[in-house]
Amino acid sequence: MKEKLYIIDGTALIYRAFFAFIRNPLYDNKGQNVSAIFGTINSLLKLIEQFNPSNIAISFDRREKTFRHQITDTYKANRPPTPDELRQQVEPIKEFFQKIGLNDISKAGFEADDVIATLADNYQNKYEVVIVSGDKDFTQLVNEQISLFDPKSNKATDVQKVKEKFGILPTQFIDYL
């Protein structure tokens, strides 16, 4: 049996944590919103408690434009900007991960999704890869060596679960969408 490699979609984790508290934000004693910090760290601690992973990495979207922006100027043109209260929490979260020794595999010019997918593909022969994200786009990568774990629902998705939920194989997911 292969060791597991957990690859965390840091950007998705941060956004989910921030918006989970959108109606009841958490503030520190200086009045700064800390919802994303609290929720992200809490999600990581739950993951560690539940799975005790020995191989774990995390990737975040970066500020630089990606190769997709070079292809088309309209890439994500209609997406609303990141709220300031969320943006202010990203660096402290990254610093936390760095201080605990969690490898940040982010790469300039690429979104976290691209880095995660590439790493999962490259390491699936060595490890059983678990992508930690609620992003359904990763469903297309699911195979016998790559699964998804959604920290929000606390559920894993493998090939059989994709068939049950969508009635298709993971390789057909892009066409399904």
| pLDDT at position 133 | 97
Q: What is the DSSP string of 48-85?
A: HHHH--SSEEEE---SS--HHHHH-TTTTTTSPPPPHH
Could you read off the pLDDT tens digit of each residue along the chain, which spans 177 residues? 899 999 999 999 999 999 999 999 999 999 999 999 999 999 999 999 999 999 999 999 877 665 555 666 665 656 777 889 999 999 999 999 999 999 899 998 888 999 999 999 999 999 999 999 999 999 999 999 999 999 999 999 999 999 999 999 999 999 998
Q: Among residues 77, 51, 53, which one has the least CA distance to residue 65?
A: 77
**Rounded Cα distance, 168 and 160, in Å:** 10
At residue 10, the 3 state secondary structure works out as helix
Give the C-alpha separation, 148 to 2, whole Å. Answer: 16
Measured at the CA of 7, the angle between CA 66 and CA 64, to 5 degrees, comes to 15
Write out the two tokens for 22: 């959108």
Residue whose structure tokens are 């560690």: 48
